[in-house]
Amino acid sequence: MTSCIGSVVVLAAGQGKRMRSKLPKVLHSVCGRPMLLYVLEAARAVRPERLVVVVGHGHEQVLPWLPPDCVVALQEEQLGTGHALLAAAEQILPGSVLVLPGDTPLVTGEVLQTLVADHERLGAAATVLTMELDDPSGYGRVVRDADGWVLRIVEHRDATPEESAVHEVNSGMYVLPVPLALEILSEVGADNDQREIYLTDVIAGLRDRGERVAASRVADASLVLGVNSQEELAQAEAIMAGRHAADRRAGVSRQ
């Protein structure tokens, strides 16, 4: 199978203050392995030409864990997810780039293959992986237009009452066009209350240019669960342990 993905970029630069630990967030263990390694394993399923890892906080601790075929980019200041992608700009091949958070250990290769397949099938400039949550509090809402294309992604704190009622939310995983996405991020700047550049700025920039943005909705939201606290780490551990137990019963071996 030939993939349309030139590069996968895994964002692994964050400190993870809510983890209340000196260990870089992506190195916290799920069933005995740093959660970053699960993301890298899943990313290989789309057969990218290049696998890029953006490191930052505690990068000296992260680097020894990276497989030798990974390309490393350093985000010296952590100024948002969009800024992290810009930090990897020189390493990203032209074409479609799959961007993944490094703190989603439950994501599978099958989920990412479906995202990429949907992107190709729909013919959009970019595709966002979304999920439905009963309680979407804290997540960016995915607002679609009348034809089902993504109109914008609105952060929880900025959402109107009508937007807050939307249960489809952003997983933080995207297929984006390069170099156009990088050009948009370079133009955006950090003129917001957080003084950061977000990947969601690419979505707005593409729409402003008349491009179409699609959404690929994952059926099981737990597959894209982000780990931002010790409580969420324990939840991911329990789900992964159940997955491993099911594999053992089925005679499937995982690393």
The catalytic residues are 18
Which tokens hold the place of 15? 């400190």
Query: Residue 6 is which amino acid?
Result: G
Query: Residue 199 is which amino acid?
Result: L
How far apart CA 184 and CA 3 sit, in angstroms, is 24
**Residues β-bridged to residue 177:** 96
- CA nearest to 104, candidates 155, 38, 8, 51: 38
Q: Who's near 109: CB < 8 A, 6+ residues apart?
A: 41, 42, 43, 44, 45, 46
Query: How many of the other CB atoms lie within 10 Å of CB of 35?
Result: 25
Which tokens hold the place of 137? 């509090």
44-72: burial string, b at 16+ Cβ within 10 Å, e else: ebbebebbbbbbbbbbeebeebbeeebbe
